[in-house]
Amino acid sequence: MREREGEPRLDAARLGAELGERATLVQFSSAFCQPCRATRRTLAEVTGMVEGVAHVELDAEDRLELVRELGILKTPTVLVLDAAGRIVRRAAGAPRKADVIAALGVAVSGETPGG
């Protein structure tokens, strides 16, 4: 998962779902995306392990304006948001559980990578 500077904040109104108390995992998926199913299972498992974390899955085809704004190029793409809705990490493709947990650590701690 990598960090991107200058990305907009996302809130409940823009996502159509409530943010997690501590962090939110936003998954962009598409109907026939096989890796999206595995990603959904991984993110559900992680949110079950970490208190205060929400998982929001969005259909990329239904949310084209947001997809374009955020530069989502493939599904699945996962955005890790901190409690304020700032994007602290993003990953394209099915992430490994360990990478999701590490990214959540950054989101929850409020630390910037490398410092």
Give the pLDDT of residue 8: 77
State the DSSP code for 2: B
Indicate if the pLDDT at residue 112 is higher than 60.
no
Beta-carbon contacts of 91 under 8 Å, excluding residues fewer than 6 positions away, are: 1, 2, 77, 78, 99, 103
Indicate if the pLDDT at residue 103 is higher than 50.
yes
* pTM, entire model: 0.89
* Residue with token string 């109907």: 31
Per-residue pLDDT of 29-52, as tens digits, reads 999 999 999 999 999 999 999 999
Residue 77 and residue 90 in contact, taking contact as beta carbons nearer than 8 Å: yes
At residue 7 the predicted structure's pLDDT band, cuts being 50, 70 and 90, is low
The amino acid that residue 80 corresponds to is V
Share of the chain above pLDDT 90, in %: 83
Give the pLDDT of residue 115: 45
Per-residue pLDDT of 47-79, as tens digits, reads 999 999 999 999 999 999 999 999 999 999 999
Per-residue pLDDT of 77-100, as tens digits, reads 999 999 999 999 999 999 999 999
Please state, rounded to an integer, the average pLDDT across all residues of the chain: 90
